[in-house]
Amino acid sequence: MSVIVSFFGYRFLHWFERFAWIPVLIGFIIAAGVSGKHLNNLPPDPPATAARILGFVVQQVGYTITWSGLSADYGVYLQPVGSRSLESVYLLLYWFLPTQCGSQVTGYPLRFYMFSSSDGHLFLQVLLQSFGAAAAIAASTIPSWSNGFAGGNVGGLIESIFRPLGDFGQFLTVIMSLSVAPNLVAAFYSASVNYQVIVPRLFVAPRYIFTLLTAAIVLPLAIVGAHRFDAAITNFLGLIGYWASAYVIILLIEHFYFRSNKFSNYDLDIWNDPKRLPWGLGALGAGVLSFSLVIPCMSQVWFTGPLAKKTGDLGFEIAFVLSGILYPPMRWFERFAWIPVLIGFIIAAGVGGKHLTNLPPAPPATAAGILGFVGQQAGFIITWSGFSADYGAYLQPVGSSWKVFIYSFLGIFLPNVLVQSLGAAVAIAATATPSWSDKFAGGNVGGLIEAIYQPLGNFGKFLTVVMSLSVAPNLVTIFYSASLNYQVIVPRLFIVPRYFFTLLTVAIVLPLAIVGAHRFDAAITNFLGLIGYWASAYVIILLIEHVYFRSNKFSNYDLDIWNDPKRLPWGLGALGAGVLSFALVIPCMSQVWFTGPLAKKTGDLGFEVALVLSGILYPPMRLLEIKLMGHL
C-alpha cells in the first residue's frame, strides 16, 4: 500500500494521510472497549529504574524527532500566507489535530508543524502507547493474550484482543496491520526525494523507481524483523535515537547561535546551489565524533558498552551533549586534540610508575617477533603517506622542504616511540599486577587504561573518557581522505556532496569496529599486519618511480596533467608488481586466522617479501607500460 500511494505522488499522498488515521483510531477505541475488563486488575509492573527511563526516552526520540528530518519534504507544499485567526486556533489545537490540517498555517504553528511527529497526534501517541503498555502487562496474566504475544508478537496480541468479535475482529486486525502505512508512505516518499537530492542527475528518473528501490531494501529487513517485532523496533528506534539526539542539538546551535534565531539569516536563493551551500563538515564531524563516546554508553540487545553496563543506555544523552560541544570548535579540533591526550599519558605514567620499576622479564625477542612488529608499524605509520597529499595541497607553495620533512618525521616518530614504549611497559607490568591483569583480560586495552586511572577516582574516570576519545583525531583525517578517494576513483561522483561518502565510510567501519571491540588487540594487530604488506609494496614502488624513472627530480612530474586521466600513467605496472608479489607474500604471512607454509618455519616475512619482490617486478613492468603508452 505504501508503494502504491507513493507511486501516485504527493497530492494523492496528502489525501491519504488526511484520512488514514480515522479507521486506525476507531480500531483502537474498539480494542479498548473489548479488552477493558482485562485492564482493571493489572499485575504490578517492575519498578521504573533510571536505565529503563533513559531507554524509553531514546525510543521516543527515535520515533518522534526523526520526523523533523522529513518535514521539509512536505513543508514546501504549505501556503506562505494564511489567516491570523486560523493561526491562533491551530496554535491551541495543534497537538490534537492531524498535521495536514495546518496546510494554511504560517508563523509559529508552521514551525511547530515542522517538528511534529509522523502521525501528527501527540495526544494520540500518549493514549495509544499507554494502552499498548497496559495490554502488554495484562498479557502476562491472560492465557489467550500471552499465547498471541509470545516472542513479542504485537500483531498476535492485537489479533487476540479482537478475537471475541469473530469475523469483524479479523477485519479490524487487518485494518490495524495497515496502520503502519501512513508512516511508511511518508518515509518512502522522502527516501525517493533524497536519492535525487544526493545525486541531482537522478532527477531525470521517475520518483517511483526510488520508492520501489527503498521498498526492496526495507522488505527483507521487515520480514526478518517481523518474528521479533518488539525487539527489532526497539533496537532500531534506539539506534535512530542516538542520531536524532545529535541532529537536534546541532540544528538548535546552528539556528540560535550561528543564525541568531532569525529565519532571515538563511539565504533561500542558494538552496539548489551546492557550491554556495555550507559543506556540512562541522555538523558531520560533530555527530560522528560523538559516537566515539556514544558506543561505550549504548545499551542494545546485541551490544552493551562498558559504561552502559553500570549506567544504563546513555547514548542519546551523550550524543546530545557531545555533538553540541564539538560542533562550534570543529575547525580547531585537529590543531589542539593532541594536548589532552598527551596530558593523559603523562598522568598515566605518573600514576602507574610504581608498577613499572620491577618489571617481570619479557620473553626474549625472536626474529619472527621483530619482523612481525616491523610489519605492524609499517601498517600504522607508512600508510599516512598515502593520504598526506590530501592535506599537503593546503600548504604554502613556498617554504623549506626540509622543515616540512622534519616536522612530519618528528610528528610521527616521537609520539609513536613514547606512547608505544609506555604501552609495552604497561602490558608487561599487567602480568604481575592483579588489578591490571583482571581488566586487561582478553587484550582489553580500554580496561587496562581504566585500571591505571582507578586510584584517581572520578578524575580517573574522566581521564578514561578523554583517552577513549583519542582515536578521534586519526578518524577525522581518515574519513576525510576516504570521501576524497571515492571521487578520485569515480570522477563523476564529484557532483555528490562529500559528506555522503564520509557517512558511507562510517557505515562500513562502524559494524566492523563494534565486532572488533571485543578483541581490540587481536583485531588491530591483524588489520595492521595486512595493511603492512600493502605498505611495503607501496613504498618500494614509489621510491623506484621517483629515484629511477623520475631521476630524483620533482621537475620531471608534469603537474598540468594531474586531472587528465588520458595523459596520466595507467598505473598497471605498479598494480601488477604489487599484486604479483602476493603470490609469495601469502605463503610467508603469519596471522591469527592464517599461517602460510613458509611462515610456520620462518615467522611472518610478508612485509619483507612484498618489499623485495615488488622492487624486482616493478622496473620491467613499468618499462613495458611506458613503451605501450609512449610516455612516462
Domain ranges of the chain: 2-243, 522-629
Burial class (CB in 10 A: 0-12, 13-18, 19+), 439: buried
Find the DSSP H helices in 76-141.
Answer: 84-93, 108-114, 122-139
Q: pLDDT band for 115, please (50, 70, 90 cuts).
A: very low
Q: How confident is the model at residue 507 (pLDDT cuts 50, 70, 90)?
A: confident
More reliable by pLDDT, 23 or 515: 23
pLDDT surpasses 50 at 326: no
Taking the C-alpha atoms of residue 447 and residue 443, their distance in angstroms, rounded to an integer, is: 9
Burial class (CB in 10 A: 0-12, 13-18, 19+), 299: buried
Residue 97: per-residue pLDDT: 38
Q: Are 325 and 472 in contact (CB under 8 A)?
A: no
Q: What is the pLDDT of residue 313?
A: 55
* Alpha-carbon separation of residue 191 from 10, 13, 196, 573 (angstroms): 13, 14, 9, 43
Q: What are all long-range contacts of 403-406, with beta carbons under 8 Å and residues at least 24 apart?
A: none
- Neighbouring residues of 503: CB distance < 8 A, sequence distance ≥ 6: 284
Check: CB of residue 73 under 8 Å from CB of residue 189: yes
d(CA 548, CA 328): 48
Do 60 and 234 touch, CB atoms closer than 8 A? Answer: no
User: What's the pLDDT score for residue 316?
Assistant: 46
Band (pLDDT 50/70/90 cuts) for residue 176 is confident
Q: Residues 451-476: what's their mean pLDDT?
A: 82
Rounded CA-CA distance 141/400 in Å is 80
DSSP 205: S
pLDDT, residue 101, reads 38
185: part of which helix (H) or strand (E)? helix 181-198
DSSP code of residue 25: H
129-138 pLDDT, tens digit per residue, is 777 778 877 8
Mean pLDDT, range 462-469, rounded to an integer? 82
Q: Which of 198-207, 272-281, 425-434 has the highest mean pLDDT?
A: 425-434
Q: Looking at the predicted structure, is the pLDDT value of residue 549 above 90?
A: yes
Q: How confident is the model at residue 573 (pLDDT cuts 50, 70, 90)?
A: very high
> How far are the Cα atoms of 38, 182, 522, 586 from residue 526, in angstroms, in the given order?
58, 48, 6, 14
The answer to whether residue 240 scores a pLDDT higher than 80 is: no
Question: What residues have CB less than 8 Å from 426, skipping those under 6 apart?
Answer: 348, 352, 356, 436, 448, 452
User: Confidence band (pLDDT; 50, 70, 90) for 543?
Assistant: very high
* Residue 15 clears pLDDT 80, i.e. is over it: no
Average pLDDT, whole number, for the chain? 74
Mean pLDDT of all residues in 291-318: 64
CA distances from 604 to 58, 374, 375 (A): 47, 10, 8
Q: What is the model's pLDDT at position 237? A: 59
pLDDT top residue among 358 and 98: 358
pLDDT for the residue 544: 95
Task: Identify the burial level of 118 via C-beta atoms within 10 angstroms of its C-beta, where 0-12 means exposed, 13-18 middle and 19 or more buried.
Answer: buried
Assess contact for 458 and 464: CB atoms under 8 A.
no
SS3 105: coil
Mind listing the pLDDT tens digit for each residue in 154-164?
777 888 888 88
Top pLDDT among 597 and 400 is at 597
pLDDT of residue 581: 92
Q: Tell me, what's the pLDDT at 592?
A: 72
Q: For residue 288, give every residue at least 6 positions away whose Cβ sits within 8 Å of its Cβ, in sequence order, or none.
A: 475, 479, 502, 506
Dihedral of alpha carbons 44, 47, 52, 53, sign? positive
Looking at residue 299, its pLDDT comes to: 65
CA distance linking residue 283 with residue 254, whole number of Å? 9
Confidence of residue 327 (pLDDT cuts 50, 70, 90): very low
Q: Report the pLDDT value the prediction gives residue 307, as an integer from 0 to 100.
A: 64
Residue 3 pLDDT class (50, 70, 90 cuts): low
Residue 614 has pLDDT above 90, yes or no: yes
The whole-number pLDDT of residue 27 equals 83
Number of residues in the chain: 632
The reported pLDDT for the residue numbered 324 is: 46
